[in-house]
Structure 1
Amino acid sequence: MIERDHPVLSVGAQCRLLSISRSSFYYAPKGETVMNFDLMLLADK
């Protein structure tokens, strides 16, 4: 979708064209903590 090494359009320009913020492009979700994962397993039982 967004090309980091596009020859003409910067990442910011591509984000504006797609109507998304640059921070949402760079966002990397964090995984679940071990404690939260254990609680979810316990709740499933």
Structure 2
Amino acid sequence: ELFDKSEDGVPVVLVDYLTGEEQRTHANQAIEVCPAGAIALVDSP
């Protein structure tokens, strides 16, 4: 699970770093369906 909602209904990110291909796949799917375009993947240095 990468995301959840707070008690107030605000989306919350649950992970700081993607640890595997499955998480990356789920993150990319979330990027595609996010209506606000608020999700992005950033490569760490």
TM bucket (normalised to shorter chain) is: under 0.3
Which has more radius of gyration? Answer: 1
**TM-score in terms of structure 2 length:** 0.23
- Higher share in strand: 2
Task: Give the number of the structure with larger relative contact order, counting CA–CA contacts within 8 Å between residues 6 or more apart.
Answer: 2
- TM-score when scaled to structure 1? 0.23
Structure with the largest fraction of helix: 1
